[in-house]
């Protein structure tokens, strides 16, 4: 048995949206296994805070302000990271999310959907994954080594009601994951891997008003979710760390194009 298949010592991990609620827990998980973490996000204050927390715990981390849709700024960041660390091993595409305009409200029909908002959600989730892969994947192709982890959603396997635009965008991310797994393994080599992590329901700022009332009790939709989750709770951000570390490390060295579902059983439950 090898020493520690999950060890990430010396690895350099770039995490887009690493200052978000799930992203910061992912950063902490990677740093906990020894990775140097490069946090990319729009908000300097929260990004610096995540980096400082990792450093206080004895890890190595830095933050860059960026928009994942701005390819030129990502190229500048890539070059700076390479200067600083000499390589990049892991890319986690955690920037993403939904917006109200791309949802169908209870009093609306499909025909009320705001196309511009759907386009923005598609941009952020799909192009916000594709563009970082284009930029950082070049390094992986040169090294013939690299590990990409994209984030999809429970709404990909069976579309949830109301969140039409987000479902389409995350479904495209899953498809891209599987497409690139084949493309990279066959054309670059077996050590450039692409996998996806699928969180179930985690209470964050994006879904708080959809799932909970101002007093913290569950909305009818939040209640339905718990009812359909065999483990009877929402996820905690740290619940994602194990699956992420597995995908980012040699523990998953024969795994590419996979989707790791972390959802308390939601996807497996038939409802009866
Ligand atoms: N919360 C859940 O239940 C859940 C479930 C499934 C999937 N996800 C996905 O997990 C990921 C993280 O979500 P979260 O719940 O932590 O949300 P979050 O809003 O806390 O984190 C998203 C992060 O992405 C950043 N971001 C947004 N647009 C950006 C841009 N253009 N450039 C750079 N950064 C940008 C935000 O600033 C934020 O830091 C997202 O892809 C989300 O869709 C969340």
How far is the centre of ligand 1, averaged over its atoms, from the C-alpha of 202 (Å)?
11
Sign, CA torsion 132/133/134/137: positive
In whole angstroms, how far apart are CA 193 and each of 70, 152, 214, 255?
Answer: 24, 16, 42, 7
Ligand 1 and 94: CB distance under 6 A = yes
Ligand 1 and 202: CB distance under 6 A = yes
Q: Which residue among 44, 95, 221 is best mutated to probe the pocket of ligand 1, counting the most ligand atoms within 8 A of its Cβ?
A: 95
Domains of the chain by range and CATH? Answer: 12-200+241-262 (3.40.50.720)
Q: What is the pLDDT of residue 207?
A: 87
Q: What is the pLDDT of residue 236?
A: 97
166 is catalytic: yes
Q: For residue 206, is it left (φ>0), alpha (ψ between -120 and 50) or beta? A: alpha
Q: What is the pLDDT of residue 209?
A: 86
Task: Spot the catalytic one: 166, 179, 246, 269.
Answer: 166
- Give every residue of the chain whose pLDDT is below 70, as ranges: 1-2
**Largest separation between any pair of C-alpha atoms in the chain:** 58
Q: What is the pLDDT of residue 210?
A: 86
Q: What is the pLDDT of residue 182?
A: 98
At 31, list the tokens: 């740093």
How far is the centre of ligand 1, averaged over its atoms, from the C-alpha of 97 (Å)?
5
How far is the centre of ligand 1, averaged over its atoms, from the C-alpha of 93 (Å)?
9
Q: What is the pLDDT of residue 247?
A: 98
| C-alpha radius of gyration, the chain, whole number | 18
What is the spatial distance between Cα 193 and Cα 256, in angstroms, rounded to a whole number?
A: 5
Q: What is the pLDDT of residue 3?
A: 79
Give residue-wise pLDDT tens across range 21-76.
999 999 999 999 999 999 999 999 999 999 999 999 999 999 999 999 999 999 99
Q: What is the pLDDT of residue 2?
A: 65
């Amino acid at each position: 048995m090898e020493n520690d298949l999950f060890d990430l010592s010396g690895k350099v991990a770039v995490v887009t949206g690493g200052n978000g609620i799930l992203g910061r827990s992912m950063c902490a998980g990677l740093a906990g296994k020894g990775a140097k973490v490069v946090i990319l996000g729009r908000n300097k204050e929260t990004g610096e805070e995540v980096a400082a927390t990792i450093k206080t715990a004895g890890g190595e981390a830095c933050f860059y302000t960026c928009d994942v849709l701005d390819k030129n700024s990502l190229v500048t960041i890539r070059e700076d990271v390479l200067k600083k660390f000499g390589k990049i091993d892991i890319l986690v595409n955690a920037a993403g999310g939904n917006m109200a305009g791309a949802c169908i409200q209870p009093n609306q029909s499909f025909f009320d959907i705001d196309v511009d908002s759907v386009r923005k959600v598609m941009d952020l989730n799909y192009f916000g994954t594709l563009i970082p892969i284009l930029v950082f994947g070049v390094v992986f192709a040169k090294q013939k080594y690299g590990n990409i982890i994209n984030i999809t959603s429970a709404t990909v396997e069976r579309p949830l009601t109301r969140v039409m635009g987000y479902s389409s965008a995350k479904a495209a991310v899953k498809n891209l994951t599987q497409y690139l797994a084949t493309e990279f393994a066959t054309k670059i080599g077996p050590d450039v891997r692409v996998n996806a992590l699928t969180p179930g329901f985690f209470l964050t700022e994006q879904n708080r008003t959809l799932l909970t009332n101002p007093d913290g009790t569950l909305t009818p939709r939040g209640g339905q979710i718990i009812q359909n989750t065999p483990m009877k709770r929402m996820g905690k951000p740290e619940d994602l760390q194990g699956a992420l570390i597995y995908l980012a490390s040699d523990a998953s060295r024969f795994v590419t194009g996979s989707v790791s579902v972390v959802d308390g059983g939601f996807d497996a439950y038939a409802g009866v």
